[in-house]
Structure 1
Amino acid sequence: MNVTGQCQCGAIHYQIKGELLATLMCYCTECHKVSAGYGTMTVLIDQHDFHLTKGALKVWQRSSDSGNINRAYFCGDCGNRIYHQNPNKPDIIRLKTGTLANSANYTPKAHLWLKSAPDWVLIPKNTLTFQTQPLLADLLALIKER
Structure 2
Amino acid sequence: MITGSCLCGNIQYELRGDPINTAMCFCNNCRKSTGSVGMANSWYSKESLSITKGADLLRTYEDHAVDSGATVERSFCPGCGSPLIAENKIKFPGAVIVTYGTMELEEGQKWKPNLEYFCKRKAEWLGTPAETEKFHEL
TM-score by length of 1: 0.83
Q: Which has the higher helix share?
A: 1
> How far off its partner does 1:40 sit?
1.1
Partner of 1:28: 27
Partner of 2:113: 108
Partner of 1:47: 46
> How far off its partner does 1:8 sit?
0.4
In the alignment, the residues of structure 2 paired with residue 61 and residue 85 of structure 1 have an alpha-carbon distance, to the nearest angstrom, of: 10
1:128 partner amino acid = E
Contact 1:45 1:93 in 2 (8 A): yes
1:112 partner amino acid = Y
1:125 corresponds to which of 107, 116, 130: 130
Contact 1:4 1:16 in 2 (8 A): yes
SS of 1:94's partner is: strand
Alignment root-mean-square deviation, CA: 1.6
SS of 1:41's partner is: strand
Partner of 2:100: 97
Partner of 2:60: 59
In the alignment, the residues of structure 2 paired with residue 129 and residue 108 of structure 1 have an alpha-carbon distance, to the nearest angstrom, of: 10
1:68 corresponds to which of 67, 70, 80: 70
Contact 2:34 2:83 in 1 (8 A): no
> How far off its partner does 1:109 sit?
0.5
SS of 1:87's partner is: coil
Report Cα offsets for 1:2-56 as digits up to 9, x if no partner: 1110000000010011221111011111122122121110100000110000002
Once the two structures are overlaid, the 10-residue window that deviates more, 90-99 or 101-110, is: 101-110
Identity %: 27
SS of 1:31's partner is: helix
Q: How many residues align?
A: 132
Once the two structures are overlaid, the 10-residue window that deviates more, 19-28 or 120-129, is: 120-129
Which one has more relative contact order, counting CA pairs under 8 Å at least 6 apart? 2
